[in-house]
Amino acid sequence: EVQLVESGGALVQPGGSLRLSCAASGFTFSSHWMTWVRQAPGKGLEWVAHIKQDGSEKYYVDSVKGRFTISRDNAKTSLYLQMNSLRAEDTAVYYCGTVGSSWSQLLYWGQGTLVTVSS
């Protein structure tokens, strides 16, 4: 059974940092691009970042470039999102996801972890 389990969400002050983790199991983690998608309270989905199978390519939405870093550890089958210089508008549930055989296949999703940026 495929499982993606996010952790690390918390209440953090503006300007602070947080590292999210996503533990994957039940599929060949190293064969897939991975992604982070977020959802602000009561709002829609927003793609945040992608990372290639070997970590050699990373892509970000403009609003997080220079502040967030996506990474992965294939040996630990884990995905990470380092978030620095956090802003109130980063408050959201963060989902990790698996890209399937096509760029339009966000095939598997975790249950999400809540990040709240507030003083």
Partner 1 sequence: QSALTQPRSVSGSPGQSVTISCTGTSSDVGAYNYVSWYQQHPGKAPKLMIYDATKRPSGVPGRFSGSKSGNTASLTISGLQAEDEADYYCCSFSGSYTLMFGGGTKLTVL
Cα 102 from chain centre: 19
- Whichever of 6 and 18 has its CB closer to partner 1, that residue is 6
Provide, rounded to whole angstroms, the least separation between the CB of residue 16 and partner 1.
25
Quote the least distance from Cβ 23 to partner 1, whole Å: 15
Q: Which residues, 6+ apart, have CB-to-CB distance to 83 below 8 Å?
A: 17, 18, 19, 20, 64, 67, 68, 90, 115
Cα torsion 115, 104, 75, 3: sign: positive
**Contact call for residue 91 and partner 1 (CB under 8 A):** no
How distant is the alpha carbon of residue 65 from its chain centre? 14
Amino acid identity, position 46: E
If binding is defined by CB under 8 A, does position 50 make contact with partner 1?
A: yes
Draw the binding track, 7-46, toward partner 1 (x: CB under 8 A; -: no contact): ----------------------------x-x------xxx
Residue 109 interacting with partner 1 (CB under 8 A): yes
The amino acid at residue 66 is G
Q: Where on the chain is the footprint of partner 1 (CB under 8 A)?
A: 35, 37, 44-47, 50, 57, 59, 61-62, 95, 100, 102-107, 109-112
